[in-house]
Structures are given as C-alpha cells and as structure tokens.
Structure 1
Amino acid sequence: MSDDQTPEQFPPSLERAREVLSFGAAQILPSDGLTERLLAAHREGRPLRVKLGIDPSGSELTLGHAVVLRKLRQFQDFGHTAVLVVGGFTGQVGDPSGRTATRVAQSADQVVANAQSYFDQVMRILDPDRTEVVNNAEWLGTMQVAEILGYTRQLTVAQLLERDDFSRRFAAHQPITLSEFFYPLLQGIDSVEVRADIELGGTDQTFNNLVGRELQRSRGQAPQAVLTVPLLVGTDGVEKMGKSLGNYIAINDTADEQFGKLMKIPDSVVGLYAQLCTAMTPEEVAALTAAAAAGGADANRAKRAMAVAVVTLYHGKPAADAAQARFDAIFKRGELQVDAPPAQLPEGDSIHLPAVLAAAGLAPSSSAARRLIDEGAVRVDGQLVGAKQYDLERIALENKVLTVGKRRAVTLRGSAG
C-alpha cells in the first residue's frame, strides 16, 4: 500500500487526515507507513497509539520543541491517542543524538523535576483527555539483564556506527560509552512496551525511531511507522533554534514578547514558521508563503498573520490582537508604552541609570546596561539617552517611561508611586 493510492482504494474519510498529518513532515518511513497505520486503525475501529519520547533536560520549551508537539496534537484532533513516554530511566542515560561528546547524566530527581515543568507547558498544546503518560523506568528499571541481552541481538555495532554522530566521534577517536550505544535500544524497547503504531521525532531521532520497528517485529508486533519533523531555525533564520544561541522563542514568553520576536524573523522563513508553528491548513500556509516571497507590503502582512496565529495558540486571539496593537504603537507610530509596568526608583536626587535598568529587569547587569546606553538602545519618554550618560537627575526620570530597544519598557515611579 503506498501513499499515492487513488481515492477509490483509500477511504475518503481518511484522506483529509492523511493530508494534514503528512503536511510538514520531513520524512515518513516506510513511505506507505502512515497510510498503512491509518487503514489498520480504521479496519480495527480503534485510535492509533502515537508515541513521543521526552527526556527532560531543561525547564523551558521553545517553539522548536513545540513543532513535534503540534504534530502530535494533530493526531489527537483526528481522534488518536498521544502516548508520552517520559524518560525516567533513559533520561539518566542521556540521548547521544547530535552530540559530539558524552552527555552528562541526570539524576532521577532531576528528570522528575524537569518533567513536571515540561508537562505544565506541554499540556498547553496537547489535549489531556487524549494523552497517555507513562514512565519508562516502570519497565526498564526492573528489566532483567537476560531480557535486555535478548533485545541486543536485534542491533549490531556496525548499524550503530552508521549513525552520523557516532561515526564522527569514532573517526575522531572521541570516546563513545556503552550506555550511549544502549540508548537507541532502550528507546526501541519503549515502543514494544507501549505497542506504538507511530513514533514521532525530530530528524535527529530517525535512527532511534527505526530501531523500535525492528524490536517490535522481533516480538511479533506490527512495526511502527516513523514520522519525523524538521528542526526549526531560530529567529536569525539560519541556526537551529536554541537557548544557547539566544535565537529562541519560548512558549511561556508573554504575548508581546512572542509577537515582537516573530516580527524579527527574515521573510525567507515566514512560510516555514507558518507550517511548523501554527494550526494553519496546508492551503493557508501555501498562500502565506507565496505572499512572503513577494516581498514588500505583502511579506509584512504575511509575517503579521503568522505571528498572530502563533501567539493565538498560546495566549488566545484577544491577547494576540493586543500584542499586535502594542507593537504598532511602539514601532510603527512611535508611541510610548503607557501601560508599561511600574518600576521603583531608588532614593536620592542623582540616579544611576544602569542600576535602574538592571533592577527593572531591562538588562541582565549594570555593565550590560551601560553597553545598551552606549549603543543607543535606551530612551526616556522617547528621548535617546546619550552614550556615557549614566547618571541623571531624579526629576528627569520620575513618572517617565524607560524603554530598551522600544519593546521592553517600565514606568519609573518615585517613593510615593
């Protein structure tokens, strides 16, 4: 069965599901895997079990993390079950995918703490009523050595060394621990345990996900299909979105922050963001991508539509519209943020502005605040603060709007304010 069947062979009721679920996928393996699994579930009158493994290694999710979660939500919207496999065991091993050195192992307590923060954010995307959460420590933590060794016979060292990250490290004589070799095997065992029909992941997870197919086949299960999604580029339009590069947008960012960051991305990736980060239909994404490619006013309108769509997902339409209005007030019309949150001025007639910027959260430190002033990024009531102008009279600041980069602002209040 292949994905290019005629409508007569493939039930029309499933056609839209196949179209939406395959849209934006980097790869579907095997090529007829999604079709076959949809047909199997249809024949058996049951929802698909769609697996996503998460090994929490931090506490903040970005739009990059959300790409695969959005795809998982699409499966839920068509009536299928999301199976989240928390890496209570594998998180202590550390996923070697894309790594150039051995990942530092986490403690069980760290995994649990990170997982809780993850779930608070994940459930802003997924439907809790169609989500099954399991912890692989339940089976991996109690599995006998003999049983694990039985699984190892399905995977060769040569296959492992075909992985790009392992092959590079091996060629460079960099150490690869045996636990890292075990990681794809353990992830594959998860698929057997949860009886996954489909496994989702980023393109960096392709090898790990395919291992699950082999292990399921060896245990008499129908092998899962694998659907991978592209890795989202950051706001620079070049590098993969990541917190270490500062080119990320967090799903916990405020509506204003999300909208402002999205308006900074290059026109060339507006279509990609619409495809991977919104709930737009394939037809809507195609129209928006064409508009972005046209440049000029059309591209600006396309970017705004994408930004509103993203912010709406996480904050609702009223908040998205308000964020766009505030963005225009600051950037388009040059107005001040009259509703900027208050910040307290320190005592004294002479105020050290870098310290105020740092205390108000507009700069990470006083030294960074001085650099912002020298770069011309700081204004008081719309008036530029000159370079090296660090100390100002209190009267020049009290009840004024202090702005950094025209997007982050506070209203300075005196002791009575």
Structure 2
Amino acid sequence: MSQSSNLTNLTTLLERGVVEIFPDSETDNLGDRIQKSDRPLRIKLGIDPTRPDLHLGHTVALRKLRQFQDAGHKAVLIIGDFTAQIGDPTGRSEARPRLTPEEVAYNAETYLEQAKKILDFSSDRFELRRNGEWLNKLDLQQIITLQASMTVGQMLAKEGFSDRYEKGTPIYLHEFLYPLLQGYDSVAIDADVELGGTDQKFNILVGRDLQLKDKNRQGQPAQFGLLLPLLVGLDGVQKMSKSLGNYVGLTDEPLSMYSKLEKVPDALVDKYFELLTDIDLATLPQNPREKQKQLALAIVGQYHSPEAALQAQQDAEQIVLAGNTADLGDIPEFDLSQINFPAPLRYLVKAAGLCKSNSEAQSQIENGAVKLDGEKLGDRTFAEASELSGKVLQVGKKKFLRLL
C-alpha cells in the first residue's frame, strides 16, 4: 500500500467518530503504523450473535470497519459462535443466560445477512472467521495458561464485576473466561487493530496483553485499540437497545425507519450524522426539522434505496396531512402489550379502536383500507408484537396509530 494512499485515508479513519485510540505516544501510535506498514493492516471486529437482529447501534463499528476496508486494509469480522455461548459480562448486573449452539447459529446467519448491507463480503480485503475455529481446540493446559495471565484482582476491576462483587451478586467462574477468550481471538488472527465500543476497552486490552505474552509472535507489535461511542437510542438517554425499545432495526421497513429517525432528539442529530453517515457535517442545514428529515432520508437510503427513502418521506407526509398533525411524532400510539399474541389482523384493528367491531375491521381489510407502514394488508395473523412494533397502522385515510 502506498504512503500517499495511507495519508489520504488517515484523517477519515482515525478522527471521525473515534473516542480513543490506544496506545498513543510519539513512539507507538496507529497513524505511524498505518503510514509505515508495507502490508494491509488486519482490522478486527468481533460480534457475539446473542440476538438475531442488528440495529443502528451495531453499525457504528461495522461502518468504521468498512472505512478501513475501503482504505485497503483487511477487515476481519469474527462471529463469536463460541464466546456467545458464554455471553459478554461487560456492564451486566447479573450473568447472561447461556445460549445453545443452535440459537447462536441461527442468530449468526441473520447477523451476516444484515452485515452485508455495510461490509463488502466479496472483496479480497474481507475475512470472515468464527472463533469456535480455535477456541474449540484449546485443551485444558492452554486454558490454564490463559487463566494464569491475569489475576482475580485484575478481573474484579472490570466494569460490572466490582459492582456485583460488592453487592454480593454471584459472579460465575465461566464469566472470567470471557475476556480471556475474546482476547485470544486477537492472537489467533494476528490483529493489528481491534475495534469496539467504549465499554470494550478492558477486553481489547486483554487481547493486546495476550499478544505481548505470546512467544509464537516473535516480537510482532501488539494490536491497537480503537474505541467508538455507544449510540444513544431514540429516547435520548440510554444506549440503543432492542430490549429498551429505543432502537432502529436494519430490517425495519422504510416508512417505519424513516418515521423513527425523523423524531431523533435535536441534541442527538449531529452525532447520528457523524456516526451513521458519511455526510460532511459542515454542509448540514441549520433548521433542526430539516436536519431530522435529511438524516432520515440518508439512513433509509443506505439500507433500502434512495427511491425507497423518498417514497417513505412522501408516505409520512401524507399520513401527517391526513391526520391533521404537525408531524409524525403527533400520531397517537397504541401499546401492543394489551394484545394477546398470536393475533388476527381484524382483532388487532378492533382492539386498537380503529374499527368498532371485528366485522367492520374484516370489511375494511377486504376493501384494502388497512395498511401497515403504507403497505396494504390482507387478512393475516401476527405471531408476536415484534412484527408490528414501531410501525404505523392505518385504516382509511384519516385513522392512524403508531404501534409500540
């Protein structure tokens, strides 16, 4: 890779959205490593498939990985099929439920399909690995050697462990293995850089430490850590999470995605642009409302298409006009916890108060007057609330409800 190419991409790679790079000294810094390297660097991102779907919070690190890929470096995406069965204890007030191999495999396949929206899987600058490849092969002697690299005191300094210990909340021995096994991933794939959220600093440092102690690396320099912020969710308070309901999913339909993003709190809009788009922040409109619309268009366009984004905006505006509301945020909401699932559409429409009876609801469905996020619905049954959450249910031209 030429030095000029390295220099051209250096600012984009190391500045936009990055919270911290470590180590960072005059004699040991990532900028010099990139400029002086005579080969593409190996950039590691590990993802534990503990849930089947990705949301925009996951894309912050995936987008940074793509930036390194576009700059000519090797993007190494590790699916934690082994570590997901333990579960990352970071920030947890109690142990995670252990997943079965079948659950992990199912989640991993859906993760990868969604990750293809961001990463170029066909490029020779992409490498997909599963950490079961090497972790399943560790024998007891190797595991003991790993454990001997850290003290109990060091482990208890990890975020979450110290709080749980002081409160008397159980900490199970297998949880201590997690950062060691994730760190071993960096040894196994010879990582030059590991990406992660700010909550992953401890785990990334473990990987760096294990590389330094590994005699087989023959003096190779250890990885750098590059930390990215945790995306705050739509509530403007807590990090984006499916369990908190403050998320935008990559599989959300265009209108649902647009309507959520159009309501991003003013204080978060610039940060969303910085972390979720490539748009020059200096070109953003000053009007907060216009900013929200541009953000929604940009992100829907990324994960669907520019045409789908424009159609979603037009559908949203029609809903606003028909409902005589100021914006999509004024649409009345309906709590899906009131519904027993599985639920037929006619029952849902009636229970939500959009029709007076099941027979009226059935008639509206048959006449094509019932829509979900602008799409006409035929008679059907919904298995669970997650199929509907965040979407707009419409009957006729003037009745709308956002389902939550």
TM-score, normalisation: structure 2: 0.80
Q: Deviations over 1:110-152 (max 9, x none)?
A: 2112111110111111011132111211211111222222233
Q: Does 1:142 align with 2:134?
A: no
Q: Deviations over 1:299-348 (max 9, x none)?
A: 1111111111111110121111111122112214659xxxxxxxxxxxxx
- Rounded to whole Å, the distance in 2 between the matches of 1:212 and 1:107 is 25
CA RMSD of aligned residues (A): 2.9
Give the match's secondary structure for 1:53. Answer: strand
1:131 aligned residue (101, 126, 144): 126
Match of 1:218 in 2: 213
Equivalent AA in structure 2 for residue 401 of structure 1: A
Name the CA shift for 1:155/1:369 in 2 (closer, same or farther; >3 Å).
farther
- Rounded to whole Å, the distance in 1 between the matches of 2:100 and 2:373 is 40
Equivalent AA in structure 2 for residue 224 of structure 1: Q
TM-score, normalisation: structure 1: 0.77
2:303 aligned residue (290, 302, 314): 314
Q: Does 1:17 align with 2:2?
A: no
Contact 1:33 1:225 in 2 (8 A): no
- Rounded to whole Å, the distance in 1 between the matches of 2:26 and 2:119 is 23
In terms of Rg, which structure is larger? 1
Q: Does 1:26 align with 2:25?
A: no
Equivalent AA in structure 2 for residue 303 of structure 1: Q
Q: Does 1:95 align with 2:95?
A: no
- Rounded to whole Å, the distance in 2 between the matches of 1:35 and 1:24 is 21
Q: Does 1:360 align with 2:345?
A: yes
Q: Does 1:409 align with 2:394?
A: yes
- Rounded to whole Å, the distance in 2 between the matches of 1:394 and 1:70 is 44
- Rounded to whole Å, the distance in 2 between the matches of 1:73 and 1:35 is 24
Unaligned runs of 5+ in 2: 325-338, 375-391, 398-404
Which structure 2 residues correspond to residues 251-270 of structure 1 after superposition, within 5 A?
Answer: 251-270=250-269
Q: Does 1:160 align with 2:155?
A: yes
Identify which range, 25-34 or 181-190, moves more after superposition: 25-34
Name the CA shift for 1:244/1:65 in 2 (closer, same or farther; >3 Å).
same
Q: Does 1:70 align with 2:63?
A: yes
* Residue identity (%): 41
- Rounded to whole Å, the distance in 2 between the matches of 1:193 and 1:391 is 60
Give the match's secondary structure for 1:164. Answer: coil
Match of 2:334 in 1: none
- Rounded to whole Å, the distance in 2 between the matches of 1:208 and 1:252 is 29
Name the CA shift for 1:303/1:32 in 2 (closer, same or farther; >3 Å).
farther
- Rounded to whole Å, the distance in 2 between the matches of 1:122 and 1:333 is 37
Give the match's secondary structure for 1:126. Answer: coil
Name the CA shift for 1:37/1:405 in 2 (closer, same or farther; >3 Å).
closer
- Rounded to whole Å, the distance in 2 between the matches of 1:207 and 1:318 is 43
Give the match's secondary structure for 1:243. Answer: coil
Name the CA shift for 1:401/1:161 in 2 (closer, same or farther; >3 Å).
same
Match of 2:367 in 1: 399
Contact 1:234 1:242 in 2 (8 A): yes
Name the CA shift for 1:229/1:41 in 2 (closer, same or farther; >3 Å).
closer
Give the match's secondary structure for 2:243. Answer: helix
Give the match's secondary structure for 2:127. Answer: strand
- Rounded to whole Å, the distance in 1 between the matches of 2:308 and 2:372 is 22
Paired positions, count: 355
Give the match's secondary structure for 1:176. Answer: coil
Contact 2:24 2:30 in 1 (8 A): no
Name the CA shift for 1:327/1:278 in 2 (closer, same or farther; >3 Å).
same
Q: Does 1:105 align with 2:98?
A: yes
Equivalent AA in structure 2 for residue 118 of structure 1: Y
- Rounded to whole Å, the distance in 2 between the matches of 1:395 and 1:135 is 48
Equivalent AA in structure 2 for residue 331 of structure 1: V
Match of 1:180 in 2: 175
Match of 2:243 in 1: 244
Give the match's secondary structure for 1:327. Answer: helix
Match of 1:346 in 2: none
Match of 1:195 in 2: 190
Contact 1:234 1:240 in 2 (8 A): yes
Equivalent AA in structure 2 for residue 306 of structure 1: L
Match of 1:273 in 2: 272
- Rounded to whole Å, the distance in 1 between the matches of 2:193 and 2:112 is 21
Give the match's secondary structure for 2:108. Answer: helix
Equivalent AA in structure 2 for residue 279 of structure 1: D
Equivalent AA in structure 2 for residue 328 of structure 1: E
Contact 2:50 2:104 in 1 (8 A): yes
- Rounded to whole Å, the distance in 2 between the matches of 1:257 and 1:323 is 8
Contact 2:50 2:107 in 1 (8 A): yes
Match of 2:226 in 1: 227
1:300 aligned residue (289, 307, 312): 289
- Rounded to whole Å, the distance in 2 between the matches of 1:34 and 1:360 is 64
Contact 1:96 1:183 in 2 (8 A): yes
Equivalent AA in structure 2 for residue 199 of structure 1: E
Contact 2:43 2:192 in 1 (8 A): yes
Give the match's secondary structure for 2:129. Answer: strand
Report how far residue 400 of structure 1 moved. 6.2
Equivalent AA in structure 2 for residue 20 of structure 1: T
Match of 1:349 in 2: none
Match of 2:146 in 1: 151
Q: Deviations over 1:268-294 (max 9, x none)?
A: 1111111111222xxx22443x72xxx
